[in-house]
Amino acid sequence: MNIWEAFQQLDFEILYKIEKIPKKQLEKEGETILNFAIEQQAPLEIIEILIKKKANPNSINHFGRNALHIAIINSAGIDIIDCLLNSGVSINQQDQKSKTAFHYSIIYLEKPSRIGVIKYLIEKNADIFAKTKFEETALHFACKKKSLKVIKLLIEEGLDVNSKTIYNESPLHFACQWSSLEIIEYLIQIGADVFEKTNFFETVLHFACRSNSLQIVKYLVEKGVDLNARTFKNETVLHFVCRSNSLQIVKYLVEKGVDLNTRTFNNETVLHFACRSNSLQIVKYLVEKGVDLNGRTFKNETVLHFACRSNSLDVIQFLIEKRC
């Protein structure tokens, strides 16, 4: 049995029986034996032995990740992370998507206890300002993970609340889709630009309408974000909500005077979007409000075409009853 087969069966004792790891067993199919051991939750002692036996923590796999990336992704303890750093692993190595171990410490922040790893990497001089291939910062990822503690920590360390991805998305855009009202309020309080638009002309309200949070939508509207702002496809926030299945938000936007008869550059109505998302409640509501049942896109597609494409039997039946 070789080392890879033994580790696959969680048999780490094999390392005590061999003096030297054959060079051909240090790597296999674009993966390193050290990375594999970490993925298999090998204890610290085994990691130390592997490094002593010439397993290189800086060897990268086919994703461009070194042993530190793998340790962070697999929730390794600080003892193993410390061992790798003491063995000379590059703390700021970027993988194929230019993500560092510090980025992954936030991306894989599944438990509050993992905040200790983030703080530890900062103490060890990880580049907290590193950007990914798409120019996402650690703050963008923290907003996705809904962690106010980490967001505040990063702000205290000097990260820019208005940093942008290559698509001109700010941390606030991410927060409006994935975070809580508390986080959004905090970001705006410290200077986040609530009127910023992406390269696709999406406002923070467009992002919020993907979240299905009426509370967040109301807050942004109160802050003055344009209800009738349009993306580069001429989609309004109402189009976004009809795609996201939130009848509450649809009703709220209509009460606020959003244009019900707006169309995209493909001539799609909000009813087309609702039919595509299988939301019978929203479809019924829009029809009651007078949205054109027989509107056609520039490809001559009706709302019934969209409902059929989405295999929504309830919506199809309703539209047929309405003689669509």
pLDDT (0 to 100) of residue 26: 74
pLDDT (0 to 100) of residue 28: 80
Q: How far apart are CA 196 and CA 193, in angstroms?
A: 6
Averaged over 145-169, what is the pLDDT? 97
pLDDT (0 to 100) of residue 12: 76
pLDDT (0 to 100) of residue 324: 74
pLDDT above 70 as % of the chain: 99
What is the 8-class DSSP label of residue 225? -
Q: Is the pLDDT of residue 128 over 90?
A: yes
140 closest CA partner among 187, 210, 195, 101: 187
Render pLDDT for 11-63 as a digit per residue (tens, 0 to 9): 777 777 776 777 767 778 778 889 999 999 999 999 999 999 889 999 999 99
Q: Which residues pair with 27 in a beta bridge?
A: 32
Averaged over 107-117, what is the pLDDT? 88
Q: Is the pLDDT of residue 1 over 70?
A: no
Under DSSP, is residue 296 helix (H, G, I), strand (E, B) or coil? coil
Strands, E assignment, the chain: 27-28, 31-32
Q: Which residues pair with 31 in a beta bridge?
A: 28
pLDDT (0 to 100) of residue 39: 94
Sign of the Cα pseudo-torsion (110, 142, 250, 240, in order)? negative
Task: Go through the domains of the chain in sequence order and give each one's CATH number.
Answer: 1-133 (1.25.40.20)
pLDDT (0 to 100) of residue 17: 73
* H-assigned helices in the chain: 3-8, 33-39, 44-52, 67-73, 78-86, 101-107, 115-123, 138-144, 148-156, 171-178, 181-189, 204-211, 214-222, 237-244, 247-255, 270-276, 280-288, 303-309, 313-321
Averaged over 90-115, what is the pLDDT? 94
Return mean pLDDT, the chain. 93
Of the given ranges (13-27, 120-134, 194-208, 211-225), which has the lowest mean pLDDT? 13-27
Tokens standing for 146? 């809904």
Instruction: Enumerate helices (H) and strands (E) in the chain, giving the number of each.
Output: 19, 2
Render pLDDT for 235-263 as a digit per residue (tens, 0 to 9): 999 999 998 889 999 999 999 999 999 99
Q: Are 35 and 3 in contact (CB under 8 A)?
A: no
Q: How far apart are CA 117 and CA 123, in angstroms?
A: 10
Instruction: Please tell me whether the overall predicted TM-score, pTM, comes out greater than 0.85 for this model.
Output: yes
Q: Is the pLDDT of residue 6 over 80?
A: no
